[in-house]
Amino acid sequence: MSDVLISPSILSADFAELGAEIRRIDEAGADMIHVDVMDGHFVPNLTFGPPIIKKLRPHSNKPFDVHLMIAPVDPYIEAFADAGADILTVHPEAGPHLHRTLQAIRAAGMKPGVALNPGTPADIIDPVIDDIDMILVMSVNPGFGGQSFIESQLRKIEQLRSKVEQTGRAIFLEVDGGVKPDNAQRIISAGANALVAGSAVFKGGPSQYAANIASLRS
C-alpha cells in the first residue's frame, strides 16, 4: 500500500449516468475526481464544461481535479471556480500568459496546476513552479482515453520530482495517460505521488471499481 493519490478520470465513465458514476468511484476509494475538459480545438475531442461540472459537484466531497484541454483558458476561470473545481490545471500552450493565468486561478480560490504534453520539456515549469500546486505529466498525447503509456515520460517524471524537492513545497506530481496496474509502481518509483486512470478504473463495470483502484496502489 502506497500513499499515492488515485484520481479516476470520468472520461471513461458512463456519460449517461455521470452522477452515479462519481458516487461509485468515491465509494470505491478514489482520492480525487479527474475531470477532462476538451474543446475540440486544443485537442481533437469534445467533452463537457462548467455547467455539467456544477451539477456533478454535489455527488462527491472529494476534490475535483479539473484538467483543461482548452484554449483560451482565461475567459472561463471564474466559471470553473463557480462550478466547484478545486484544482485547475492548464497547458502552457493554451495561451501566451501562463503566469497571469496561474495567478488568476489562485485569485479565484483554486489550486493552479500545469500540464506538460509528452513533447513539452520539464524546464518549462521552472519560472512558475513557486506559483503552482500541481504538475500534471501527460504520458499520452491528450484527447482520448485508452492510449498506451509513453515510456520516455518516466525520465521527465524523475526530473520533475527533483524540481519539486528543491522547492520544499508539497506540489502534487500527477501522471495522466495509460496508467495501469502493471506500470503504476514504475511511475511512482520515478517520483509521481498522484495517478490519473480512466480505462484502468472503469474496466469491468461498477463491481470492479474498488478492486481496480486498489490494484493501482499495490
Q: State which residue has the least CB distance to ligand DX5.
A: 198
Instruction: Reply yes or no on whether 65 is catalytic.
Output: no
What is the pairing mode between strands 87-90 and 111-116?
parallel
Q: Tell me if 137 sits within 8 A of 149, measured CB to CB.
A: no
Q: Does 21 bind Zn ion (CB under 5 A)?
A: no
Nearer to ligand DX5, 103 or 124 (CB): 124
Stretch that binds Zn ion, among 37-45, 59-67, 100-108, 179-187 (CB under 5 A): 59-67
Using CA atoms, how far apart are residues 116 and 69, in angstroms rounded to an integer?
A: 11
Q: Does 67 bind Zn ion (CB under 5 A)?
A: yes
Residue 25 CB, nearest approach to ligand DX5 (Å)? 13
Instruction: Reply yes or no on whether 176 is catalytic.
Output: yes
Q: Tell me if 36 sits within 8 A of 67, measured CB to CB.
A: yes
DSSP at 142: T
At 177, list the grid cell.
495517460
Question: Please, which residues have CB within 8 angstroms of residue 84's CB and are 6 or more apart in sequence?
Answer: 53, 54, 57, 64
Catalytic residue among 26, 31, 36, 39: 36
Stretch that binds ligand DX5, among 18-26, 84-92, 143-151, 153-161 (CB under 6 A): 143-151
Using CA atoms, how far apart are residues 91 and 83, in angstroms rounded to an integer?
A: 20
Nearer to ligand DX5, 101 or 139 (CB): 139
Active site residues: 36, 176
Residues contributing to the site for ligand DX5 (CB under 6 A): 9, 11-12, 34, 36, 67, 140, 142-143, 145-147, 176-179, 196-200
